[in-house]
Chain A
Amino acid sequence: MTSLASLENNVIEISQLTTRFGEHVVHAGLDLVVRRAEILALVGGSGSGKSTLLREIILLQQPESGSIKVLGVDLENISDAAALALRQRWGVMFQSGGLFGSLTVRENVGLPLREHTGLSDALIDEIADWKLAMAGLDPEVGAQYPTELSGGMMKRASLARALALDPELLFLDEPTAGLDPESADEIDQLIRKLRDLFGLSIVIITHDLDLLWQVSDRVAVLADGKVLGVGSMAELAQLNIPAIRKFFDGPRGRAAQQQTGLR
């Protein structure tokens, strides 16, 4: 939302990224660009390094070599102050929520505001309630504790917290995994709405083929430590790379594809 920063068009630029766990090479010279206001989906089999890549982008882990630039800031040798400032410009929704069990849902959502702004408690609660409503939760949920929530509600609450500071960049780790189809559809729509309304750039890690076909603008396929292909699903469908074909040729892949075709 901060308008001055909109000069550059790429919110994330990754080049020649290498990551290794001991002998195991996770990323071998990976390149990826995320553009402003696009929804980019990261896909790949288990162990292809999607989550590691996400952790490196959001400063939870250091790559071995290569450069990552997020919102124009180089993450290598970043100072603590710059890292803190950067962290306030993105929101992260973790796979299993990552909500603090000792706080109510409303307090969870209000926490970033309480920590980083000088707003009054009443105003913070109002804004937190609204973010919860935006994520599709009833106001009563705000007073509950995370352990009392169902899986889908937990994801929504986590999304509401990620949105608390009106981030420019949103990371979603498996936003629809473990949800019933209806909730997953609602999350799909919510993600689109957020992008359209606030001009958010969104990076999604997902296996959900519906999400890939209907929500993402571009999809990056990770395999063998590299990005094998980037493009819209329709473009990727033309490529003849085995790791990418998997997403189209299985029965599920065909079903999701046909569904989109009918629309």
Chain B
Amino acid sequence: MTLIQVVPASIARTTPQELALSGSWTARGIGQIETQLKALSASSGSTMVVDASRIEAFDTAGAWIVQKLRRRLGGECVSMEIRQLRPEFARLLEVVGQEIAHRAGAANHDPDLSPTRLESLGRATAEAFEQGRALLGFIGKCTFVLGRCLAHPQRLRWHPILYNIRSAGFDALPIVGLLSFLLGIVIAYQGADQLRQYGANIFVADLVGLSMLREFAPLITAIIVAGRSGSAYAAQIGTMAVTEEIDAMRTIGIAPLELLVLPKFIALLIALPLLTVFADVLGVFGGMLMARAQLAVSYVEFLDRFVKTVSVTAYLIGVGKAPVFAAIIVTIGCFQGFRTHGGPDSVGRQTTRSVVQSIFLVIVADALFSVAFSALDL
């Protein structure tokens, strides 16, 4: 609220036919008397005399409510006579009066447009379908561009590819490593209690090895990269769309997909499996530390058991999921970026969408993989 000290506007009814106005009739001063004015009435056919000599300040808001009062009373056949208003205020009052009269001629332009629940549901559904179709179209275009570039490898832009491998892959090493290390510790720690009860301490190697390599390492890596790089893709492309850079690119004759999407796609296709391997190593290492601390399983015993139970298949299954996750992250991130239009607001919204959708789709894909692998007995 305002900190400007103003004398609030006030209105006093000295006699039934006389009003005395005083104080600041400005936007800040008239807050309290709006309701008072609404309640004001007089017997029809009479004249209301308004003494305005003690009005200290007057602005368009003040003039507006005075003129509205005059109009309303006019409708009830009460005429209003304003006396002793300062000349500069009177001029303003007149301008406002003309505007209100002019406005009354125009039709009410503000119909209630808030949609019903059914309409909102319908719109949301239609939008979801539209988005699905657009995504399919985007995937098609990307595939086409990818095919064209693979047919003419000299068209590939190596510089952005290497840059993206560094920013999405190498720069993510610390966070991916730390989180998978902690995840390995948590798995071993949670398993330790149960295993100790059965005296099956050595099985901690199975537990950590299989769950890390098959499921957790690829998943946690994909989720971190979706949050880290997927959002960056959407924000970068979205900002470029808002500032017309994408349009500029098209007019110069550079295909935006080729310059913006393809390098990211190829880079992440290389980087994400590598990151997953790194996460495998640190996750298992975390589990190994915990196995020794909690279950007295030495490193040698652990590794011995690890080599026997965890097959190469388990490792390959885990790493094999990574390119699929990479494709999902790049596609969704870039797709949502290209769908940005309007202003900065839209960039934020599309970035949020890209992260939510890519994490969602990564987990859905992981679930589908689990179903497929169990059907294939892998």
- 27 A-B pairs with CB atoms under 8 Å apart are A1-B26, A1-B60, A2-B24, A2-B57, A3-B57, A4-B57, A81-B3, A85-B3, A88-B28, A102-B345, A113-B27, A117-B27, A117-B30, A117-B61, A119-B27, A123-B34, A123-B61, A127-B64, A130-B99, A143-B113, A147-B342, A147-B346, A165-B27, A166-B61, A197-B91, A197-B92, A197-B95
Q: Which 8 A-B pairs have the closest CB atoms?
A: A118-B31, A101-B343, A166-B59, A147-B342, A101-B345, A1-B59, A2-B57, A117-B27
Whether the Cβ atoms of A117 and B31 lie closer than 8 Å is yes
Whether the Cβ atoms of A101 and B64 lie closer than 8 Å is no
What is the CA–CA distance of A127 and B341 in the complex, to the nearest angstrom? 31
What is the CA–CA distance of A74 and B175 in the complex, to the nearest angstrom? 51
Distance in Å from the Cβ of B365 to the closest Cβ of chain A?
A: 34
What is the CA–CA distance of A102 and B96 in the complex, to the nearest angstrom? 30
Distance in Å from the Cβ of B362 to the closest Cβ of chain A?
A: 30
A133 at the interface (CB under 8 A from B): yes
What is the CA–CA distance of A105 and B38 in the complex, to the nearest angstrom? 28
B96's nearest neighbour on chain A, judged by CB, is A130
A72 at the interface (CB under 8 A from B): no
Given contacts A101-B344, A166-B61, 8 further A-B contacts (CB under 8 A): A1-B59, A2-B26, A119-B30, A119-B34, A126-B64, A130-B96, A133-B103, A139-B109
Q: Interface residue tally of chain B, by bracket?
A: 35 or more
B107's nearest neighbour on chain A, judged by CB, is A139
A147 with B31, Cβ < 8 A, contacts A130-B60, A130-B99 known: no
A3 with B86, Cβ < 8 A, contacts A140-B109, A147-B343 known: yes
A148's nearest neighbour on chain B, judged by CB, is B342
A7 at the interface (CB under 8 A from B): no
B106 at the interface (CB under 8 A from A): yes
B119 at the interface (CB under 8 A from A): no
What is the CA–CA distance of A127 and B59 in the complex, to the nearest angstrom? 11
**Complex interface: chain A residues within 8 A of B64 (CB):** 123, 126-127, 130
B300 at the interface (CB under 8 A from A): no
Distance in Å from the Cβ of B86 to the closest Cβ of chain A?
A: 7
Residues facing B in A122-181 (CB within 8 A) are 123, 126-127, 129-131, 133, 139-140, 143, 145-147, 165-166
What is the CA–CA distance of A120 and B99 in the complex, to the nearest angstrom? 20
